[in-house]
Amino acid sequence: MFNSHYALMKEFASRLSVSGREHDFSNDLKAWMKPFADTVSTDAMGNLLLVKKTAVLDAPRLLLTAHMDQVGFMVTHIENNGYIRLSPVGSVNPIAYSNIPVKFSRGSKGILVAETNCKPEEMKPNKLYADIGTISLKETEKYVQVGDVCAIDVPLMKLKGSRIAGAALDNKASCAIIYKIAQLLSAEEALPFEVGFAFTVQEEVGCRGSKTIAYSFAPSYALNFDVTPCYDTIGSIPGNVRLGKGAAIKIRDNTVIVCKTIVDSLEQTAKEESIPIQREIIASGGSDTGVLQLTRQGVAAGSLSLPCRHIHTGTETIDSKDFDAIVQLALAWIMKGKVFEFESLG
């Protein structure tokens, strides 16, 4: 269906899916992913789960997850002159969001601007407002209502080499990774374990969706896919992850210390397959991995992260080589059943 990684991610990134309003993207994902799974379901939270079953009785269950929501804004008030007041949904950088095009959930496009004479040091999300070109409250309400959402409307672009930039690569790129893995696994007629492909909601506002989907699927093992910051930009704080240097295997973030069994098995697989990897440790922020680990009696959960520059802006930047490395590593890890070779976890 998609003839390149770029075409795949461009299609995914064009879908609006602000936290709590992921249903349109989820419906498209359901149609795209359905040929690769035996069952498809959506829970009360809105999480999408597709399962590739196995004929093996009492087989282990592996859950692959990626959140499908993106940061954005929700409409809180419409001024008499038609301007739209907003509150952030997720963590947004008001400077990065100033003077940038946005798209609303009902289809209208507009621009996000800062209040006149607002100094950079005064910039906060509440200093931003949207202008869709209307001139009155009554006119604006024809197109936008209080409670609607909007997100940055910047299409993906190809940079030099294998680099791609644009909005919503956090986390549409990881959703595309799971799509590729599912597509490749669909050629396997019989797996010795059951695989669930979960696209979770509301990660950007507290990893909410992963709590319910992990509880209901009850995996034996889990692998989460998300982006991670790069530390190779001008003025960056010290860090290990670089763009274009391979799949980032999460060791720790602010919400999880990853199961050593998972880390060891991923690194061993990468060594055997000559796949470039990096070790990821971040001091702040988290992902669905921490939630997966704490589900029920505890789950051996790990994470493969896609290096990404300028996260939560309209110029998020990734490298297709890192995308390929993650797909190759995850697929080899699954097919070799590496995690199942370890007798104990910890």
The CA distance from 248 to 267, in Å, is 10
Considering only the C-alpha atoms of the chain, give the largest distance between any 2 of them, rounded to a whole number of Å.
67
Q: What is the four-CA torsion angle of 208, 214, 217, 220, rounded to 10 degrees?
A: 170
Cβ atoms of residues 295 and 259 within 8 Å:
no
Question: Measured in whole angstroms, how far is the alpha carbon of residue 303 from the centre of its chain?
Answer: 12
The CA distance from 78 to 70, in Å, is 23
Q: Is 203 a catalytic residue?
A: yes
Peptide bond before residue 47 is cis, with ω within 30 degrees of 0: no
Start-end of H helices in the chain: 5-13, 23-33, 94-97, 137-140, 169-185, 209-217, 260-273, 288-293, 320-336
Give the start-end residues of each E strand in 2-127: 39-42, 48-52, 61-67, 72-78, 84-89, 100-104, 109-114
DSSP state at residue 121: G
DSSP state at residue 236: P
Residue whose C-alpha is closest to residue 67's, from 258, 180, 255, 206: 206
- Which listed residue (22, 194, 203, 316) is catalytic? 203
| CB-count exposure of residue 116 (10 Å: 0-12, 13-18, 19+) | exposed
Dump the DSSP string for 251-317.
EEETTEE--HHHHHHHHHHHHHHT--EEEEE-SS---HHHHHHTSTT--EEEEEEEEEBSTTSTTEE
The set of catalytic residues is: 203
